[in-house]
Amino acid sequence: MERKSEQLRNVALIAHGGSGKTSLAEAMLFNGKSTSRLGKVDDGSSNLDFEPEEIKRKITISTSFHHTSWNKKLINIIDTPGEDNFLSDSKSSLQAADGVVLLIDAVAGLKVGTEKVWAFADESKLPRIIFINKLDRERSDFYKIVDEIARVLEIKATPVYLPIGAEEDFTGLIDLVKMKAFLYSKDGTGKFETVDIPAEMQDLAGEWREKMIENIVELNDQLMEKYLEGEELQTSEIEKTFIDGIKSGIVIPIVCGSATLNMGVAKLMDLIVKGLPSPIERAPKKGTKPGTEEEIEIAPDPDAPFSALVFKTIADPFAGKLTLLRVYSGSVKSDSTIYNANKDVKEKFGQLLLIEGKKQQSLDMASVGDIVAIAKLKETSTGDTLCTAENPIIYKPSEPLPSVISYAIEASVKGSEDKVFSSLSRLLEEDPTLRLERGQSTGEVILSGTGQIHLETTCEKLQRKFGVEVNLNPVKVPYRETIKKTVKKVVYRHKKQSGGRGQFAEVQFDISPLPKDAGFEFEEALTGMNVPRNFVPAVEKGLHEALESGILAGYPVVDLKVRFFDGKSHDVDSSEMAFKIAAKMCFKKGIQEANPILLEPIMKMEISIPEDVMGDVMGDLNGRRGKVLGMEVDGKNQVIMAEAPMSEILKYALDLNAITGGRGTFRMEHSHYEELPAQFAEKVIAAARENE
């Protein structure tokens, strides 16, 4: 089938984890004859969840892509993750979509993830269809879910199909537009026969049809008048207004069925090709002129200049890097050169690839709406805009979700640290929510991600793709040490006499505290000739070495001043080495007398939560020695601004999830250092001594 932009439908399947997105995608592929059998997630035969980590956990970890034809149209299926740890990938993949199908599990109902992905679709202004899935399961309840949709998502719920029967007696659907019924065979073939609406359901179908028509006629004044005057409305009039309503995003139709039994899936596919817009029906995507704030746009027209956004990167140890892009305007041929407007470089490439689950098919050309991959682009990364050098444009990519949990990562095999670093760098290209940094004072390599499972699967991928094994350890808290009082005239004499040339040096210091964040200050205040000036650099060097490890628990020492005002030397036995040692020992002696204390890092936090858990979250923060600084309202949520010690919130992501049922989110960054209360300092000092 020839690929024309007006025939394309780019549809993302979104939902809370476990709602059946991948099973629905498999049924769509089977119905469109892209696969010869119905792939199943549970037995590992899925065409879309093919990574070993996905098969093991039975969840989608990374968005996958496939396509199928239906009623002379081509549906590009974007199967996104629903598990909380991987929602950033879903958000980013919506940049390739022109419409969305939101799945809701008819047993579990609307979950936290449902609201999160719904908000992503809102942000991207994408038209939506809702599919209530799993109506064949025990305790499934279609009407309860419809009420919940209206209440939680705050929309006019417009069912266009009703289920016939429930749970194991779920046998078919009633079409409220055509007022016909479809009875399905339950063998997964998706076959059905068209019959009259069962007598016992005619009144119910009539009521729901009225509700549907009321929602639809609001979009068209003429139709509204006809309806209010009691005139009979034509099915074709209802259908046309209804389709316009879906494309504009004002009407959100509800379809129902069972993905694993392939019931209702064909009806959903009919609605996707009729109701969701083609790429050329969407408004032009706005961008900016490189190097300026000037807003520009290119029409979604195959004859316009080429432009595309890189929305995802896949690191493949064999094929190298695969760059996935969505074409917004114009077209591009294989074996050509494109311009990266973000990096201001030209990139030559060979094949254009169409992704089909784990397989790829080569293409000669990609046009508006196509989702394609290019292998081995050198400079291009996720979020970049590719275009023509003559008509440059930069599209703003979606922001990745913040990293919320960190671990220190170390190679299981000593000596393979470099390989760990280079392999992780390749995974960072694939996953913008991963962060890799070196702890400034602890020297640890710290890996941060959006959740525990996110980091665990990253380590599994490292081993599988690059043969690198790593361990995740708790992050060390970078405490500091400082002093609280001034000590005058600290004297230390370093003297060593043992055959041959001896060592001799004496230094005299004043040591005093400095204000917070002032660092270290060295003052040379020598008078007279007791110490030759050529030994001053050695004294200063000794002090800098001594600062690296304090006397309480071996943490760096900060915010103090050393005044070097006198000492003694020996013509033969004094050396730079002797003065360096004397300076170190004098410093340690002085610190002991200067009331040394431990400082702990304090983090600044922004915590967004539903109002009903406010008390629990505040109580929990108090228990972590946290301070609430203020509050704001953000839509349905309350945002708490707070500060808390880093040591108390190393695993806050897991605890906040537990308290809020997964509805809370937070960001944090380092704020400042504060004195660690004595009872906690004792524990830190004891632990440091034990490690020695």
Q: Give the list of residues 6+ apart from residue 554 with CB closer than 8 angstroms, or none.
A: 688, 692
Identify any residues that bridge with 388 across adjacent strands, giving them in sequence order.
Answer: none
Task: Tell me the chain's radius of gyration from C-alpha atoms.
Answer: 33
What are the tens digits of pLDDT across the range 550-566?
Answer: 999 988 999 999 999 99
Domains identified in the chain and CATH numbers: 5-281 (3.40.50.300), 286-387 (2.40.30.10), 405-461 (3.30.70.870), 481-594 (3.30.230.10), 599-691 (3.30.70.240)
Q: What share of the chain is helix, strand, coil (3-state, %, to 5)?
A: 30, 30, 35
Stretch 413-441: mean pLDDT: 81
Task: Report residue 44's pLDDT band, with 50, 70 and 90 as the boundaries.
Answer: low
Only one residue has tokens 């059998």, namely 37
Residue of 539, 551, 544 whose CA lies nearest to 588: 551
Residues β-bridged to residue 180: 175
Six-digit token pair at 244?
A: 């316009």
* Angstrom distance (rounded) from CA 24 to CA 15: 11
54 pLDDT band, cuts 50/70/90, is low
Q: Render 203-218 in DSSP notation, one character per residue.
A: HHHHHHHHHHHHHHHT
Q: Which of 25-39, 397-411, 415-429 has the lowest mean pLDDT?
A: 415-429
DSSP string, 425-474: HHHHHH-TT-EEEE-TTT--EEEEESSHHHHHHHHHHHHHHH---EEEEP
Distance CA 553, CA 548 (A): 11
Q: Which of 148-152, 533-537, 651-655 has the lowest mean pLDDT?
A: 651-655
Evaluate if residue 437 carries a pLDDT over 90: no
Comparing 328 with 360, the larger pLDDT belongs to 328
pLDDT digit string, tens, across residues 241-256: 888 888 888 889 999 9
Mean pLDDT for all residues in the chain: 89
Is the pLDDT confidence value at 317 over 80?
Answer: no
Q: Closest Cα to residue 469, out of 457, 484, 459?
A: 459
Sequence-separated (6 or more) residues with CB below 8 Å from residue 168: 136, 138
Q: Please state, in angstroms and as integers, the Cα–Cα distance from residue 224 to each residue in 204, 607, 622, following that order.
A: 23, 46, 57
DSSP character string of 272-329: HHHHSPPGGGSPPPEEE-TTS--EEE--S-TTSPPEEEEEEEEEETTTEEEEEEEEEE
Residues 6 or more apart whose CB falls under 8 angstroms from that of 463 comprise 469, 470
- Determine the 3-state secondary structure of 495 from DSSP: strand
pTM: 0.81
Residue type, 390: E
> What is the rounded CA–CA span in Å between residue 313 and residue 500?
67
Question: Exposed, middle or buried: residue 346 (CB in 10 Å: 0-12, 13-18, 19+)?
Answer: exposed
Q: Is residue 390 helix, strand or coil? A: coil
pLDDT tens figures, 136-146: 999 999 999 99
pLDDT confidence of residue 541: 95
On the question of pLDDT at 53 being above 80, the answer is no
Q: What are the CA-CA distances from residue 369 to residues 205, 279, 326 (Å)?
A: 38, 5, 6
| Burial class of 162 by CB neighbour count within 10 A (0 to 12, 13 to 18, 19+) | buried
pLDDT in tens, 110-144: 888 888 899 999 988 999 999 999 999 999 999 99
- Helices (H) and strands (E) counted in the chain, each on its own, are 16, 36
